Amino acid sequence: MSTVPAVPTPSNPSVPLRQRLQDALPVALKARDRAAVAALRSALAAIANAEAVNRPAASDRGQAIEQTSVGVGVAEVERRVLTADQVEQIVRAEVAERLAAALDYERAGRMDRADEVRREAAVLSAHLGDA
C-alpha cells in the first residue's frame, strides 16, 4: 500500500483548502490517478453541498401556475459562504469516513478495497497537511 499521494500538496499554505483541492483535480486527472480523482471530486462535492441552501417552500405556494415565476435564475438563492474552518471540517469528515470504511473493508476481507480507500484518505490528508 502506497501512502504517498501522487498529487503534490501546494507549498503555499496561504492558498485556501478548497482552491488547493480544485487545483489538484486536473493534475490527478492527467496523471490518471483514480483514487485521487475520486477523493478530490467527493470532497469538492461535499463542500458544494454544504454551501447549498434550501429554497423557501412557501415562495410559490398559494399562487396559480400562471402567476408563478418562470425562467432562468428564478429559483436561484444565494449560496452559503463557508469559512476556512468549515471547509477543513468537511474535508476532515471525508478523511474519517474513508478510514472507517477501510476498517469495514478489512473486516470483510477486502484488503484491496481497504487499501484503495486508505489511499483516498491519504490524498485528502496531504492537502490538510496531515500526511
Report pLDDT digits (tens) over 49-104: 999 887 666 665 666 666 666 665 666 677 889 999 999 999 999 999 999 999 99
Domain with 113, as residue range(s), is 17-53+81-128
Q: Look at residue 91 and tell me if it is in a domain.
A: yes
Total structural domains in the chain?
A: 1
* Any domain includes 29: yes
| Helix (H), strand (E), coil (C) string for 70-125 | CCCCCCCCCCCCCCHHHHHHHHHHHHHHHHHHHHHHHHCCCHHHHHHHHHHHHHHH
Q: Which residue is associated with the grid cell 477501510?
A: 102
Q: Is residue 2 part of a domain?
A: no
Cβ atoms of residues 120 and 5 within 8 Å = no
Check if the beta carbon of residue 5 is closer than 8 Å to that of residue 121.
no
pLDDT of residue 18 exceeding 90, the answer is yes
Identify whether 65 is part of a domain: no
Domain presence at residue 27: yes
Q: 35: which DSSP letter?
A: H
- Give the domain CATH number at 87: 1.10.1510.10
Q: Which three cell numbers stand for residue 20?
A: 488547493
In a domain, 58, yes or no: no
Does residue 10 sit within a domain? no
Measure the CA–CA gap between 24 and 38, rounded to whole angstroms: 12
In a domain, 109, yes or no: yes
Q: Given a cut of 90, is residue 25 above it in pLDDT?
A: yes
Predicted pLDDT of residue 2 = 44
